[in-house]
Chains A and B, each alone.
Chain A
């Protein structure tokens, strides 16, 4: 009975008279599908992540010798079984199942979705027009009454018409099994069995995060996107006239999507089975696309009016743009932009120029942008927002293992038995990655979640650890201490692959859990248990985010994480690795493409003559011999009067940079600022020339996600009005400056870029077009990319990783008597970064329309405040006014402000103190005080 199987067992049985075989675990439905036999099905969604449930009884088959029929979607064949999928008995049963369901549903042509799977599946049966059974449901056989108790139109993006519900529980499986959002549960019993949100709350008032998985799963249209429906939300009326397979524009997960377009407008977005998302999406990807169609899109080139002075304090609405800017022709705008840079260049030289490229553009755009800055401006002063997110992680990774990219994709959690998440809130910021982590935890992997703020992921964690903000090194070094002193290291791995262990061992001795417990705010026993759990796991993987990187000791934080993996050997194998969760859809690619002041493409040292010489030959001019300035350094350099001209494409430093007033003053003081964007951003307020550009849905090109997967983005339609493709604008500006660039197609840019990048070897444009996604590196032509890196050593001299001991560096600014609260900033699920895109999305704004500061109820009571009250939050750098939100996730004594709201920009408050290695500012904490505002 428990005989070990030396090889996978094949089961042989008879299907409709044919002898067939099934692999272990395959169902009759699976085998029938393989054999080309169509079996109608409703509750079974034949897609990744869905477990068959066998409840609808549409897929019944007959098995010889059995009294009743069997549901083929759940039933596994056995040797010698004789299965019939077509017989009068089977067909009568299937027909009756559909007839019972249809008798209680609205008529097809009057129901929410005449194209729903229910009706296409019904066509596989003899249902016809038979509706012989009486029904008590209000919409049975007719239209849905607006006051039907089965209707729920309370959600901004999804309309629920349970008149069409067949209680198949696919939406529950979508919400619970696939996305692990756990909002939908089948409630009630018998005829009352219906999906319910939370405790049967209106969907719009539930904890629903609007991932829309339920909509994609529902076979009847009982759950549908509001955007495809009539005004009343009772019926689908909009059908796409074209669809485009592309990639989500938002975060670093890189979900593949299909964009549905009608009359040059996106009407909905579906997930595709991409390597990073397996059809899943989050609220931004599924519903946040409407920013593309915003009336606030820039559609004409703009030139600053002579009578409109720049001012850091200015605020400008899109409607008032004509007070500051005048419309111009492309010729004039391009000429003025180019001439301005040439003037600065001629007067002050190359080091007076700089550029911020974008992690939201394509790889090709990033490549062209840094090429323009280096070749055209003659400087390495080119950077982008990676500086503000993972610069410290990359610094530590480059130093320790010689590569800044992730060593394993987040999908490696499928193979992991321990997962450590620290300083990251993937449920908000990488929602689809979070679904994989939660699924692994539900499968039984140990999940350690460390964060100064509680979070939803902790509900799934075996080890939720809330520690004191800014005390990461104390906590992590204490773990390293336990692992080393308790002999839990992987000595063999260290011997084979790691240098610096003895130094680390010596340095770590003062970091006992008992000594660190009061500093980290975590008791020593917990630290020991977590350390043991991580070290003794067969396969462990670490994820981290801005909570680790955005500190003055961010590089040390990452060094400690790297040390954890290296001393335990949790790198280079399936289910192990180091994964800094990348924020932007193309922050990995933009960094790879050289949008970094100290690196040419592929992280080749900008200060190295050998590297520079190659580019000087390719680009035909002498290049900057020194590494350039980073984001915050560039702002400081502007303030110092050294940098006088800037080209900013698709970035919004006026919102994203710390000590915002300082940053805005810098931008306002530039002699010449050219901003290329799709909206009139806060940065664009200070521009001399504004180029209206392309949204992601309008462009073709490649992006590289957090998993090192290079993916093909395709245009669903053209940019609006006179707006132009970003890459064409970079080329046009280059040619204004006399560079004589000529590219016939974006693929030619890719080819040139790839010729400079070994990481893209064997990843040709044609392969990307065909496959949609390729993971780099690829060892040989046609091979699969390497998901797991560093199995055989590291890309560093000698091939051995380097351990770097760390010391306790306190946060630059801690709460004190004047500023007693600890302020942390970050993001919200619904808003992307500075809100440049998402604040223009009605679908997203309705969830989070206004700035808030979150505070623990204990503090709210102590300060005599109440939720929804307007308060002022003040730090040494400035103040903002915003509304108070109760947040039980916060530790008492701390507050949280998302940085996406221009009305109350959090970065007015934040501390620009830098990590010495990564040059990343300490966004994550500073002292603040909160006072009530008069009502």
Chain B
């Protein structure tokens, strides 16, 4: 949302500074007072900078630079430090002196693949014509995690599925009357979860009835894998983190930004305490003193649920061994990368770190850190309750253990989160769980793992959906975000859509990703697609990018060249 470069005429010649004050923008009492009021009782800790910026953005509709100066003064930071963080995150609207006032309402329309296939471009154009004004900004945004209700949008804090211009207009009218509250799904609150036998496993762990070693052994036997995308065996991870000297910390990655993925939201809007119980067990076993739950800002309804339930857990004394802090993302897919998320929790720009050291050794605030995805944790109580074998046996075959939450979208009749056996072939997922292809579409291709996992032809639909299946073919299952494309869909257009997403979401730190995603968009959208040059570019992106974003970004392009020559 923010632009670093401002084409001010005063940049063109030597600027005479105001001799009536020290150099640079000075803080003033009015702004200081405003910021103090906006922050309320928020502690002025460095790691809470993003939380502070949220309070200013929410309260004033923008981050005015005079408030940056005031916030910097209060937090004893430099203006540059505050601005560099604010300008990194797309949900912060940095405004300079003399800039137009921020819009009174924001409509965000998702432009990622599933929504684009469902007509997002048309919706955006229509909404812009009908509703756009100096008071109302229509923003194209990356995936907001409602791919099964494409095209999806957001008016203020209210999410809208299957959005139409008339629906947006109606909500806009309401937003003008009073800011819309987020939609909070009817979920299972703490008392209901407790009544249902919840937190018994945690209590067994805390009492010592269930030993730490037994817990880790059970998880390993259940073959529970990290379901944020990397698939690292959970039990082993716990053992590694525990092996480093404390104090240790735990993070929960709720920055579900991979296009096509909405399973975390699915669970948290229904049974959030499965995740909480898993997390509190994990923190106990690895000896993490505190849990930081990082939730993407797009999920306003989920954030509300989490706020309530974290308070309820605290009041019930269930989290006293590992108090839970909720941290709000601010519109940055890269913060789904665990080290970038850690930077963000520390209140910084979300730049992935170099490895080694791995976060298990040196993570949040430099401490050994256990990080898990939402879904990984929510299977933990069930596995411990019913045994490793019972869980593992739910896989598609002996080679595939347990259940998985597949986010299915695109050209299927019945998209949504499908809880299905690990290793299920795509074709069975479509046929048995999604009611087959949508009317008028025949199966052409599928994304096994969101934007990063590549685009594979229908001929590979027999491959088991699990870690390891797609790697030999240059793809991966990742977060289990399955997007189905039909014969009418251009794979080149799809690849370009994905590459635009990566360009938009690259943190900009390393050359191959920052520049490579841009150059690849140019190649994909130019009349003559130079496959040789694209090949060189893919090579440097894969070999030399710092993190998985840049390394995996070319997967779909490689598949386009390899499998979909007719679309070139």
Contact = CB atoms under 8 A, between A and B. Distances in A.
A886 B25 contact: no
Nearest to B79: A198
Contacts of B87: 187-189, 192, 196, 200
A341 to B, nearest CB: 44
Nearest to A850: B19
B2 to A, nearest CB: 7
A192 B546 contact: no
B506 A190 contact: yes
A187 B511 CA distance: 16
A850 B18 CA distance: 12
Interface in B121-144: none
Interface string A192-209: 111011111110111111
Given A190-B506, A199-B68, A154 B4 contact: no
Contact of B83 (A198, A459, A852, A867): A198
Contact of B503 (A150, A190, A848): A190
B13 A100 contact: no
Contact of B511 (A146, A166, A185): A166
A292 B530 CA distance: 58
B23 A153 contact: no
Nearest to B541: A96
Interface stretch (B370-378, B435-443, B480-488, B515-523): B515-523
Contacts of B98: none
A162 interface: yes
A189 B23 contact: no
Contacts of A75: 354
Contact of B76 (A132, A162, A187, A459): A459
Interface in B1-45: 2-8, 10-15, 17-27, 29
A205 B17 contact: yes
Contact of B78 (A185, A186, A867): A185
A193 B68 contact: no
Interface in A66-82: 68-69, 71, 74-76
A192 B94 CA distance: 14
Interface in B65-112: 65, 68-69, 76, 78-84, 87-90, 94, 96
Given A96-B536, A194-B4, A188 B544 contact: no
A724 B462 CA distance: 92
Contact of A153 (B13, B78, B522): B13
A199 B514 contact: no
Give the one of B11, B13, B354, B526 with max A CB within 10 A.
B11
A3 interface: no
Interface in B500-546: 503-512, 514-519, 522, 526, 530, 533, 536-537, 539-540, 542-546
Contacts of A205: 10, 15, 17, 24-25
A849 B20 CA distance: 12
B243 interface: yes
A193 B533 contact: no
A198 B24 contact: yes
B544 A60 contact: yes
B68 to A, nearest CB: 5
Contact of B80 (A55, A150, A185, A885): A185
Contacts of B69: 199
B62 interface: no
Nearest to B64: A199
A884 interface: yes
Nearest to B361: A1
Contacts of A857: 29
Contact of A190 (B12, B22, B27, B508): B508
Given A185-B83, A186-B349, A69 B544 contact: yes
A206 B24 contact: yes
B244 interface: yes
A693 B55 CA distance: 62
B332 interface: yes
B340 to A, nearest CB: 11
B245 interface: yes
B409 interface: no
Contacts of B539: 92-93, 96
B369 interface: no
A757 B168 CA distance: 87
Nearest to B78: A182
Interface in B352-367: 354, 356
B551 interface: yes
A1 B349 contact: no
Say which size band chain A's interface belongs to: 35 or more
Contacts of B354: 54, 71, 74-75
A57 interface: yes
Given A93-B539, A96-B540, A156-B14, A207 B526 contact: no
A132 B76 CA distance: 46
Contact of A207 (B79, B96, B244, B542): B79
Given A167-B514, A209-B23, A189 B88 contact: yes
Contacts of B509: 55, 193
Contacts of B94: 199-200
A182 to B, nearest CB: 4
B507 A202 contact: no
B29 A153 contact: no
Contacts of B518: 191
Given A96-B539, A167-B514, A205-B17, A54 B546 contact: yes
B543 A192 contact: no
A657 interface: no
B83 A187 contact: yes
Interface string A125-150: 00000001110000000000011011
A155 interface: yes
Contacts of B533: 132-133
A383 interface: no
B2 A190 contact: no
B543 A69 contact: yes
A202 B332 contact: no
Give the one of B18, B20, B90, B537 with max A CB within 10 A.
B20
B80 A883 contact: no
Give the one of B243, B511, B517 with max A CB within 10 A.
B511
B15 A202 contact: yes
Interface string A671-714: 00000000000000000000000000000000000000000000
Given A68-B543, A92-B539, A199-B96, A149 B5 contact: yes
Contact of B14 (A146, A153, A182): A153
A189 B32 CA distance: 28
Nearest to B76: A459
B5 A150 contact: yes
B80 A57 contact: no
B14 A56 contact: no
A196 B4 contact: yes
Interface in B211-240: none
A199 B83 contact: yes
A491 to B, nearest CB: 36
A867 B19 CA distance: 9
A364 interface: no
A103 interface: yes
Interface of A: 1-2, 54-58, 60, 68-69, 71, 74-76, 89, 92-93, 96-97, 100-101, 103-104, 132-134, 146-147, 149-156, 162, 166-167, 175-176, 182-194, 196-202, 204-209, 459, 846-850, 852, 857, 867-868, 883-889
Nearest 3 interchain pairs by C-beta: A193-B508, A207-B24, A185-B84
Given A154-B10, A187-B2, 17 more contacts: A55-B509, A56-B511, A93-B544, A132-B530, A133-B533, A134-B522, A153-B14, A154-B11, A156-B14, A166-B511, A189-B89, A189-B506, A194-B4, A198-B79, A200-B5, A200-B87, A205-B25
21 contacts: A55-B509, A57-B510, A97-B511, A100-B519, A154-B13, A155-B14, A166-B511, A184-B80, A187-B88, A190-B504, A190-B514, A192-B3, A198-B83, A200-B4, A202-B15, A204-B15, A205-B10, A206-B24, A850-B19, A886-B21, A887-B21
